[in-house]
Structure 1
Amino acid sequence: MAQSSDTTGPVTAACHCGAVKITVSRKPKEINECQCTLCRRYRAAWAYYDPTDVDVLVMNDTQPREYLWGDREIRFRFCGACGCVTHWRSVDEGGQEMGVNTRMMHPDLLRDANRKVDNEQLSVPLKSRDSAHPEDQARYL
């Protein structure tokens, strides 16, 4: 069943098995398909929210998993049961932004969202060359 396309109410996203449910305050106006070496492999499509506007609920005894890469400043989180990438959050829990994978939302909710393919991350340098992915195109001085 399709969810309402109302822009004002909360929206729920869920992994494939339903063990991780994320509720955000509103549907996204813009979706970013980041092209960094990790996001393009995850095939994620991110909407960005203030962490106070996001509620993450993990059902049953499912243990969410996480992956840190590069400068180890962002925790990519995914369902420990079905493996879906659900969201990311700054390692510094005081961070002002987090990403929710809109691929966990019903497609009908996303019809009016602006989509962009962000190639910016292709050349953003990491703090350490040692932590870069082999395909990282960043330039280090």
Structure 2
Amino acid sequence: MSVQGSCHCGRVRFSVPEMPREVKSCGCSICRKLGNLTAYCHPDDFKLAPESEAALSRYSHGDRMIALCFCATCGCSTHWHALPERFADCFPEGEAPRLGFNARLLDGFDAGAVQVIVTGGREG
């Protein structure tokens, strides 16, 4: 059964196949400031509600490999995906493509019930 998620104002809604069992707390400069707990799925498994696309804004930084997506109204960071022109750089041959989403936005998500993996270091 899929799990639903949304930003604070509800303009960006999405679903994923299941509640994550683990999330990552990244220590890079942008993730540290956003405070996301990121879970991953195959890009085809992340279902963005059709009307949500118009509510998204995107930001790319650093090596410009991924687009960080957020609601243009309430500012919630929703997910990231590889930029099409950098897809091969993000996912070298043999590596499964993935998309990261902010697990904190899932309905019923309990951060205390999942393994939190701390990754990355301080950049900038």
For the Cα contact (< 8 Å) 2:104–2:111, is it kept in 1?
no
> How much does 1:58 deviate?
5.2
1:122 corresponds in structure 2 to 121
2:103 corresponds in structure 1 to 102
1:44–1:58 Cα change, 3 Å: farther
Correspondence for 2:78 among 65, 76, 86: 86
Determine the C-alpha separation between the residues in 1 that align with 2:6 and 2:62: 27
Where in structure 1 are there 5+ consecutive unaligned residues?
1-8, 124-132, 136-141
1:20 corresponds in structure 2 to 12
> How much does 1:90 deviate?
0.4
> Structure 1 length as normaliser, TM-score?
0.72
2:23 corresponds in structure 1 to 31
Where in structure 2 are there 5+ consecutive unaligned residues?
92-96
Question: What's the C-alpha RMSD, in Å, of the aligned pairs?
Answer: 2.2
> Structure 2 length as normaliser, TM-score?
0.82
Q: Look up the equivalent residue of 2:42 and give its one-letter code.
A: D
Work out which of the two has the higher radius of gyration on C-alpha atoms and give 1 or 2. 1
**Structure with greater proportional helix content:** 2
> How much does 1:62 deviate?
4.6
Determine the C-alpha separation between the residues in 2 that align with 1:59 and 1:111: 32
Q: Look up the equivalent residue of 1:92 and give its one-letter code.
A: P
1:129 corresponds in structure 2 to none
3-state SS, counterpart of residue 8 of structure 2? coil
Higher relative contact order (CA 8 A, sep 6+): 2
Kindly tell me the number of residue pairs found equivalent between the two proteins: 115
